[in-house]
Structure 1
Amino acid sequence: MFLSIRGRVQLRQNFPEDAALVMTQLQLNNTGRYVCEVVDGLEDKRTTVDLELKGVVFPYQHRLGRYYLTFLEAKQACEQQDATVATFTQLYQAWEEGLNWCNAGWLADGTVQYPITQPRATCGGSGLAPGIRSYGKRLSQPHRYDAFCFSSSLRGKVYYFQPSGKMNLTEARQACEDDEAQIAKVGQLYAAWKLTGLDHCNAGWLADGSVRYPITRPRRNCSLSEPGVRSFGFPPSQDKHGVYCYKAQE
C-alpha cells in the first residue's frame, strides 16, 4: 500500500513490519538527507538516507563575460540552463574527476569557490597544492562572480542539426522547432556529453545564445587536449553555425 506524503514522497509497505521510503519524479534540487520514521504503537524506528544525484558540474558565465552574476542571478542562470547551483560535494567530486577552472563561482551554500588540479602562478599561486580554493561566504554584499551549475536530468535527446546550411540564432531556433524539438540548453548539452557520451566536432547554437560543442574523444582539429564541452562564447546572433536541438521523450 502507499501512503501519500507531500505528493512525490511515499511510504511503501509490502507486508507487516516492512516499510520503504519511495520518492518519484526526482528533481535536481532533491539531493540531501532524508529521514524515515515509522511509529508502530509504542515502538518507532528511524533511519536516514543520503540521496546524491549523479551528474555533471559546469562553470557558467554571463554573456557579458567574467564575474557578472550575483548569487540570485547565478541561481536563475543555472535554472534557465536546466540545472541548479552546484553543492560543494558536487564540485568536489567534479574536481576529483579532473575539473580545473580558475574563475571563482557561486555554490548553493552561498560560498564562492573554484577547483584547481594544476596550480599555477596566475591562479592562486604555483606553490599551493591542488584543491578547492574558497573565498568563503559572500552573501552579505552584492558580490558578483560566475556560477557552478549541476545537471543530471536528461529526459530526452540532444543532437546536432544542420538541415541545409549554417544558420543565425533566429534561424537555428526555428530549425529545431520545425524538427519538432527545441534549441538545447547548456545544461542539456553538458548532461548529454557526460551521461550519453555525445561527441560532435561542429559548433552549434544553444538557447542562451552561446556556441559550443561536446567532445568525448579528443582528436586532431577537434580538441586535442581532453574531453569536455568547448565554448566559443556568445558570438553576434547573425553569425552562422549549426544548432544543438533537444527533443523530449514522448
Structure 2
Amino acid sequence: NASSAFEQSSDKSKGFLIVQTAPGKVVTHRGGTITLPCRYHHEPEDVDPNHIRIKWTKVSDAFQFEDVFVELGRQQKAFGSYRGRVSLERAGPGDASVIIHNITLQDYGRYECEVTNDMEDDTGFVNLDLEGVVFPYYPPSGRYKLNYHQAEEVCRQQDAILASHAQLHKAWLEGLDWCNAGWLEDGSVQYPISQPRVQCGRKDSPPGVRNYGYRHKDDECYDAFCFTSNLNGRVYFLKRFKKVNYLEAVKACQRDDAVIAKVGQLYAAWKIQLLDRCEAGWVEDGSIRYPIVNPRTRCGGPEPGVRNLGFPDKKFRLYGVYCFRRNTDVQSTQAPKETITKPANSTRSI
C-alpha cells in the first residue's frame, strides 16, 4: 500500500482535512524528473472538488517562500522557473503529488504542500535532494576574496550553486578535507576537516565540519563551497600535438564543436562520469586542473580528487585543455519518473 509510506504531518482533532507527505527525502539529479509525494483525506468526503485548492511552495532556510504551482478546481498556474515543468500526478482521489521535469540545481530544497477546502487547511513538507558533488572554490584574485553575493556568482559562473550545510556534511562524510573557510547558501561560513592538524584549527580537535556561524554577507570575505550535479554533456581532454596558452585553448575547444569546460563541469565529470586523466589542462576560469579517480605515482598525491595547479599566466604558460560538449538530444538527461522516500546515495563514493 503506497499510502503506508507516508507520514502524517499534523493531526487535526476534528480531522476535516489531513495532508500526508513522504518521510525522509526524494532524490534525483539535474535533468531528471521527480515526483514530490503528497496525499490528503477530508471529511465529509463529498466536498465539491472544485472547492479544493492545492498549492506547492518552495521554502528557503530563511523562511522565504517561492510559489511553485497552484490548482483550484480546473484552474492551474505554475510560477517563475517552474512554468512548463510542473504538473499534478493525479494518481487517484486525494493525490496532490506534483511532478517536476528537467530538474535544475536551483530546485534543490524543501517544498510545502498545502491543501485547502472551504473549512480547513493542512500542510506537509517534502525535501528534494540532488545527487552531485561539492567543491571548494576561490577566484584568480586569491583566497578569502569573496563576500556572500560574489560567492553566489562565482559558483553560478562555474555551473554550480552555493552548497547547503547538508551537502557539505555529506561531502565531509565522503572524505572532503579543506582547510579554508567558505560561504554556504544559508549565509554561514564553514569548512570540512577529515584530518585534524595544527594549521587547520587544532590538531587535537575531532574531525568534523567547522562552523564560523552566520557572517555579514556584504562586508566579510571567504572562499565558496559550490555544488553541482549531472551534466547534459561530456567533459574530455582535447588531444593535441602541442600545448597551448589560454586563448588558444578556448579556440581549440570551439573548433572541436565544444566549449572550454567550467570548474563545476570538471568536478561533475570526475565524480559522476568517473573522468580520470593525469594531464594538466586549462579550464574556463583560467586555472589549470586535472581529475584523478585512481591515484597513482606522479599524479598528485595519494587521494582521488580534482588537482588544482592554480592560475598561471594566460598568455605565456602552455598546457592542454578540458572541453565540454553538450548533448544535442535534451532527452538524454531525462530520467524515468522516480520517487525515493529514504536517504539514498547512488553516486559512487570516491
TM-score relative to the length of structure 1: 0.94
% identical equivalent positions: 50
Displacement of 1:5: 2.5
Residues 43-54 of structure 1: pairs in structure 2 closer than 5 A: 46-54=123-131
| Corresponding residue of 1:90 | 167
| Corresponding residue of 2:271 | 194
Q: Conserved in 1, the CA contact under 8 Å of 2:184 and 2:190? A: yes
Change (3 A) 1:234 1:153: same
Deviations 1:185-205 (A, max 9, x none): 000000010011000000110
1:173 and 2:250 matched: yes
| Corresponding residue of 1:123 | 200
Deviations 1:13-65 (A, max 9, x none): 14444342111221112111112234567676643211011111101012122
1:29 and 2:106 matched: yes
Unaligned runs of 5+ in 2: 1-73, 329-350
Q: Conserved in 1, the CA contact under 8 Å of 2:149 and 2:217? A: no
SS of the residue corresponding to residue 173 of structure 1 reads helix
Q: Distance in 2 between matches of 1:141 and 1:157?
A: 36
Q: Conserved in 2, the CA contact under 8 Å of 1:58 and 1:149? A: yes
Deviations 1:116-145 (A, max 9, x none): 011111110111111111111112651111
Q: Conserved in 1, the CA contact under 8 Å of 2:148 and 2:218? A: no
Which of 231, 236, 248 matches 2:308? Answer: 231
Which of 165, 170, 177 matches 1:100? Answer: 177
| Corresponding residue of 2:235 | 158
Residue type at the aligned position of 2:200? C
TM-score relative to the length of structure 2: 0.68
Q: Conserved in 2, the CA contact under 8 Å of 1:11 and 1:22? A: yes
| Corresponding residue of 2:326 | 248
Q: Conserved in 1, the CA contact under 8 Å of 2:230 and 2:272? A: no
The structure with more radius of gyration: 2
Unaligned runs of 5+ in 1: none
Q: Which segment drifts farther, 185-194 or 135-144?
A: 135-144
| Corresponding residue of 1:206 | 283
Aligned residues: 250
Residue type at the aligned position of 1:241? Y
How well do the aligned residues superpose, as a CA RMSD in angstroms? Answer: 1.9
